[in-house]
Amino acid sequence: MECGIVSYGAYIPRHRISVKEIARIWNEDGDGLSKGLNVIEKSIPGFDEDTATISVAAARNALVRCSVNPKDIGAVYVGSESHPYAVKPTGTILAEAIGATPNSMVADLEFACKAGTAGMQMCMGLVKSGMIKYGLAVGADTSQGAPMDPLEYTASAGGAAFIIGAENVIAKINKTLSFTTDTPDFWRREGQTYPRHGGRFTGEPAYFRHITSCAKMLFEAAGTKPTDYQYAIFHQPNGAFPSKVGKTLGFTPEQLKPGLIVPYIGNTYSGAVPVGLSAVLDVANPGERIFVVSYGSGAGSDGFDITVTDEILKLRRDAAPSVKQYVDRKKNVDYAIYAKMRGKIRMAGE
């Protein structure tokens, strides 16, 4: 049974802070950091935004582009490491806000930065088994890096939603698989505000090993090589890692560029690969092939071999803002406003 993406939608909050501005506070070399990370600025959620509101915005953008009746969405999965509640699902808020209640399976997922792609796989299973007509998978985050922590330069907010189904598929998912091990490179304990990480340990044994292993498995399973693809999207905690892993695997910068959004909005965590994939779908043509590998600390990678179909021409892509339009719609703020917006200032009574 054919199965894939029926529609998609992304959302990026409006406010930005530059790496240079954050570096100014900590007396670091802003230009050097910005260049090294290949990140200019990162998005900041508004006072009134969280993973639930970002998920709703992205999902509504997906719905407005297609003709799917929300009542036919039988499963809703929200992948995030920053669900607004520790206990109480984001998914029910989302399902209610798009009219997919009450006959739907709903759950929140967490797998660091790959919970969104995990949701896509789960939806595929349910669609392929015939249990549901459509599934909605969202990856969204309003991630926080501790002040002065290297993560602070990139931890941002955004997300994307995919309607997965077997009819009117705009991008067929030919193959998906995962590579998973127990590798504690990044974590956040219950009740803690900020995550912690293993420093350089997050690189070679974590990000690079999982993505390259997953990618190689996917090439083998799909019988493909890098030149078979017009686009490649890798998890993008910064701009440097995906470029390096892409090069190692044999992809050119041209294949990576359309899906590399992190330089302009930072690392949207569970939203990172989904936003990158949305940006590619904004411009992709029928017959083009997309290679996707996400990465979630802890650790695992989900790989997808995708082919864009003729159906994409029927999708009302301009009925919702493109990723580029969201990237361009921005307002930069300084560190003080950023600290206020992110609740980093201790208020009376706290």
Partner 1 sequence: MTVPRFWREIPQRYNLIGSKCGSCGTVDFPPRTICPHCRRKSIGKMEDIKLSGKGEIVSYSIVREAPEGFEIQVPYAMALIKLDDGPTLTAQIVDCELEEVKIGARVEAVFRRIQEESKSGVIYYGYKFQLAMPQVK
Contact 246, 256 (CB under 8 A): yes
Catalytic residue among 83, 197, 210, 235: 235
| 96 lies in the site for partner 1, by CB under 8 A | yes
CB of 16 to partner 1, least distance (A): 13
Neighbours of 72 (CB within 10 A): 15
Is 210 tagged catalytic? Answer: no
The CA distances from residue 343 to 42, 46, 186, 194, 335, in Å, are: 17, 11, 22, 12, 12
Burial of 187 (0-12, 13-18, 19+ CB in 10 A): middle
Site for partner 1 contains 197 (CB under 8 A)? no
16 binds partner 1 (CB under 8 A): no
Q: Which of 29, 31, 228, 318 binds partner 1 (CB under 8 A)?
A: 318
| 316 scored as a contact of partner 1 (CB under 8 A) | yes
| Interface stretch with partner 1, choices 16-24, 96-104, 225-233, 307-315 (CB under 8 A) | 96-104
What does the angle CA 116 – CA 145 – CA 242 come to, to the nearest 5 degrees? 55
Does the active-site annotation cover 96? no
Q: Is 41 a catalytic residue?
A: no
Identify each DSSP E strand in the chain by its residue range: 4-11, 15-18, 41-44, 73-79, 105-109, 134-142, 157-165, 171-183, 186-187, 196-197, 231-234, 289-293, 298-308, 331-332
- Which of 40, 97, 107, 240 touches partner 1 (CB under 8 A)? 97
50: contact with partner 1 by CB under 8 A: yes
314 binds partner 1 (CB under 8 A): no
Q: Is residue 131 at the binding interface for partner 1, with CB under 8 A as the rule?
A: no
Q: How many CA atoms lie within 13 A of 241 on its CB side?
A: 26
What letter does residue 103 receive in the DSSP assignment? S
Q: Binding residue for partner 1 (CB under 8 A) from 2, 24, 46, 184?
A: 46
Decide if residue 203 touches partner 1 (CB under 8 A): no
**Among the listed residues 325, 332, 334, 336, the single contact to partner 1 using CB under 8 A:** 325
Catalytic residue among 113, 123, 197, 311: 113
By CB under 8 A, is residue 169 in contact with partner 1? Answer: no
Task: Report the half-sphere exposure of 182 (CA within 13 A, side-chain side).
Answer: 0
In whole angstroms, what is the distance from residue 113 CA to residue 116 CA?
8
- For partner 1, give the closer residue by CB, 130 or 349: 349
Nearest to partner 1 of 91, 321 (CB atom): 321
In the complex, the smallest distance separating the C-beta of residue 291 from partner 1, rounded to whole angstroms, is 29
Sequence-ordered list of residues with C-beta below 8 angstroms from that of 106, at least 6 positions apart, any chain:
75, 76, 77, 89, 91, 92, 95
Q: Is 342 in the site for partner 1 (CB under 8 A)?
A: no
CB of 41 within 8 A of CB of 19?
A: yes
Q: Which residues are catalytic?
A: 81, 113, 235
Contact residues for partner 1, defined by CB under 8 A: 14, 46-50, 52-53, 56-57, 60, 84-85, 93, 96-97, 99, 316, 318-321, 325, 329, 331, 340, 350
